[in-house]
């Protein structure tokens, strides 16, 4: 099965979410939330992520996570991740209860493509304070892709993780997961990178981007937003409409994409030092905002 076939299938079976110029949507991916051990790359940025997500919730944004939200290659169970970052999941629970949460699975949380696994592991959790199970993400559905469709213009944005263009991490993800758990997790603690990860293998990254761009051009330059490679991408109107929201495991910062007022922007959240020496978390506009209509092809 080729990357084209996999991307075609993801687009065909995508969950369609209507939006308009009044909609506010934020896209993050590749959080890789772990168990707060030395191998948990998310732990360094969890306060930045939580602050940013809390701001988006307050401001009425919907949240769409483009895969690899939970690190289920290094960690066997979701319970250890939940206990390590419970404040994050309680915030995500609020988005879910208000129907503002859209979840996509990636290669590191590919087990979520099984609805029975999601129902068993994410619907409830054990609350030690009261000694019983309580609701977490009741009736949560994970998808391989989401299509945002503009209610007025009909313009579409295709959102997926992007590993469809990475044959090894799509077809042989169980083998990669085994290698990560047995070999690369211990080595990662010592600072040795996993060479199978496109985020740490530049040649593989370029190949994945090239395959994705080829698919976009064959589909009338459909606006496509992915993660997977961890490399932020923000094209200008007229270029191939290939966007990448980056990741939440950059050194000391997280990147994402905002859709608001019919416009798209690439943003970064990081810790900055004030003149008086105090630290604060700030939002920085990296690219845009550009009108989505400027990317539309006739």
**Least confidently predicted of 112-126, 171-185, 244-258:** 171-185
Q: Rounded to an integer, what distance in angstroms lies between the CA atom of residue 125 and that of residue 179?
A: 29
Task: In whole angstroms, give the CA distance from residue 164 to residue 8.
Answer: 10
Of 39 and 248, the structure prediction assigns the larger pLDDT to 248
For residue 178, CA distances in Å to 5, 18, 75, 172, 187 come to 26, 38, 11, 10, 14
Least-confidence region, from 156-170, 187-201, 275-289: 187-201
* Rg, Å, the chain Cα set: 19
Residues whose CB is less than 8 angstroms from the CB of residue 126 and which lie 6 or more positions away in sequence, other chains included: 79, 132, 133
Q: Across-strand partners of 259? A: 25, 264
Distance, CA of 81 to CA of 89 (rounded, Å): 10
Enumerate the domain spans of the chain.
3-295
291 vs 175, which has greater pLDDT? 291
Work out the pLDDT band at 264, boundaries 50, 70, 90.
Answer: very high
Q: What is the pLDDT of residues 42-73, one digit of tens each?
A: 999 999 999 999 999 999 999 999 999 999 98
The overall pTM is greater than 0.85: yes
Secondary element (H or E) of residue 160: strand 156-160
Q: Spell out the CATH class of 3-295.
A: alpha beta
pLDDT of 94-121, one tens digit each?
999 999 999 999 999 999 999 999 999 9
């Amino acid at each position: 099965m080729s990357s084209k076939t996999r991307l075609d299938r993801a687009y065909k079976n995508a969950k369609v979410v209507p939006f308009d110029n009044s909609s506010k949507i934020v896209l993050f991916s590749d959080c890789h939330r772990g168990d707060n051990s030395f191998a948990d790359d998310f732990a360094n940025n969890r306060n930045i992520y939580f602050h940013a997500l809390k701001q988006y919730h307050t401001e009425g944004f919907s949240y769409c996570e483009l895969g690899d939200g939970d690190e289920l290659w290094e960690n066997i169970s979701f319970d250890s991740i939940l206990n390590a970052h419970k404040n994050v999941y309680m915030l995500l629970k609020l988005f879910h209860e208000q129907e503002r949460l859209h979840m996509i699975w990636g290669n590191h949380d590919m087990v979520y493509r099984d609805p029975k696994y999601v129902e068993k592991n994410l619907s409830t959790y054990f609350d030690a304070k009261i000694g019983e199970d309580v609701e977490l993400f009741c009736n949560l559905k994970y998808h391989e892709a989401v299509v945002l469709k503009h209610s007025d213009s009909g313009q579409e944005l295709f959102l997926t993780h992007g590993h469809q263009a990475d044959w090894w991490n799509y077809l042989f993800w169980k083998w990669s997961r085994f290698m990560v758990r047995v070999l690369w997790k211990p080595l990662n603690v010592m600072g040795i990178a996993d060479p199978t990860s496109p985020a740490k293998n530049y040649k593989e990254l370029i190949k994945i981007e090239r395959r994705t761009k080829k698919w976009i051009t064959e589909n009338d330059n459909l606006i496509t937003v992915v993660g997977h490679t961890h490399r932020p991408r923000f094209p200008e109107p007229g270029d191939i409409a290939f966007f990448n929201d980056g990741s939440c495991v950059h050194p000391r910062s997280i990147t994402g994409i905002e859709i608001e007022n019919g416009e798209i922007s690439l943003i970064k959240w990081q810790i900055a030092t004030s003149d008086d020496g105090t630290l604060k978390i700030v939002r920085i506009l990296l690219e845009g905002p550009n009108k989505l209509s400027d990317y539309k092809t006739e």
